[in-house]
Amino acid sequence: MGSLPSPAFPDAAAKHSLDESSHIDESALTTLFKSQQSHLNFFFEHIDHSQTLAFTRALLNATGTVFFTGVGKSGFVAHKISQTLVSLGIRSAFLSPVDALHGDIGILTERDVLVLLSKSGATEELLHLVPCARAKGALLIALTSVEGNALAAACDMAVHLPLQRELCPFNLAPVTSTAIQMVFGDTVAIALMEARNLTKEEYAANHPAGKIGKSLIFKVLFLFPCMYICFPLICCCLIGI
């Protein structure tokens, strides 16, 4: 029976050499943070609020589920934005573009919205998904950062997320584009929260294991102590006893 090779660790001399050559000073780190701040400010200064309003209204008026999709880092952001909406009591889910083309697209209906995130707007998996999702009747919305891209042109609606450049020195690693995707999605989520007049109690009810949820449960038990008498086990589980 074979065995996996032992992991190779640098010897002491190599590690010492690595420590001497791999360092970053406070000035360089400060410069990076200031550069990222500048890139984010570019986004805030150039975002088209009319597009943002149309996007927000589309999500607010959706009678079905708001699906988000993306590939790679944009996919992780899409999943996070979807989970934020769910925590606010909005029907939402992440739809894997690959799995969608292998059966999962069956969940889409004409009442749903599908939001597609892609920095370039040229992601092949998303472009392949568009005609299939359109055939299901869903409203398709692209969130992209490159002007005149194919994905934006193929969707029913598009929002341009202005990107000056990536913080990466090669302008390749998606560390600024994903940041603005997240900022955009989370800000829209709060706009929806306010538009729906979500109360603190309703929000807490969606977070029973969190600090806010537990504080609400304690408040309910204080006002209605009979609940603890009738359902002691459930109450103890909810408050973490």
Total domain count for the chain? 2
Q: What is the pLDDT along the chain (241 residues), one digit of tens a residue?
A: 455 566 555 555 555 555 656 788 999 999 999 999 999 999 999 999 999 999 999 999 999 999 999 999 999 999 999 999 999 999 999 999 999 999 999 999 999 999 999 999 999 999 999 999 999 999 999 999 999 999 999 999 999 999 999 999 999 999 999 999 999 999 999 999 999 999 998 998 888 886 776 676 666 555 555 645 555 655 555 555 5
Cα 163 from Cα 144, distance rounded (Å): 9
Indicate the pTM of the whole model.
Answer: 0.82
pLDDT at 211: 74
Instruction: Mark whether 148 and 55 lie in a shared domain.
Output: yes
CATH number of the domain that residue 91 is part of: 3.40.50.10490
pLDDT at 225: 59
Instruction: Mark whether 106 and 222 lie in a shared domain.
Output: no
pLDDT at 233: 55
Range of the domain at 182: 33-195
pLDDT at 204: 87
Q: Which two tokens stand for residue 209?
A: 């294991």
Q: Which two tokens stand for residue 228?
A: 């603890």
Instruction: Mark whether 181 and 103 lie in a shared domain.
Output: yes
Q: How far is CA 233 from CA 114, 210, 220, 237, in A?
A: 41, 18, 16, 6
78 inside domain? yes
Instruction: Mark whether 176 and 57 lie in a shared domain.
Output: yes
User: SS3 of 137, please?
Assistant: coil
pLDDT at 195: 97
pLDDT at 185: 98
172 inside domain? yes
Instruction: Mark whether 114 and 43 lie in a shared domain.
Output: yes
pLDDT at 222: 55
Instruction: Mark whether 149 and 234 lie in a shared domain.
Output: no
User: SS3 of 4, please?
Assistant: coil
Q: Which residue has the tokens 């009678």?
A: 63
Q: Which residue has the tokens 């988000």?
A: 68
Most distant CA atoms of the chain, gap in Å: 69
pLDDT at 22: 74
What are φ and ψ of residue 96, in 5° steps? Answer: -65, 125
Cα 62 from Cα 144, distance rounded (Å): 21
20 inside domain? no
Instruction: Mark whether 213 and 191 lie in a shared domain.
Output: no
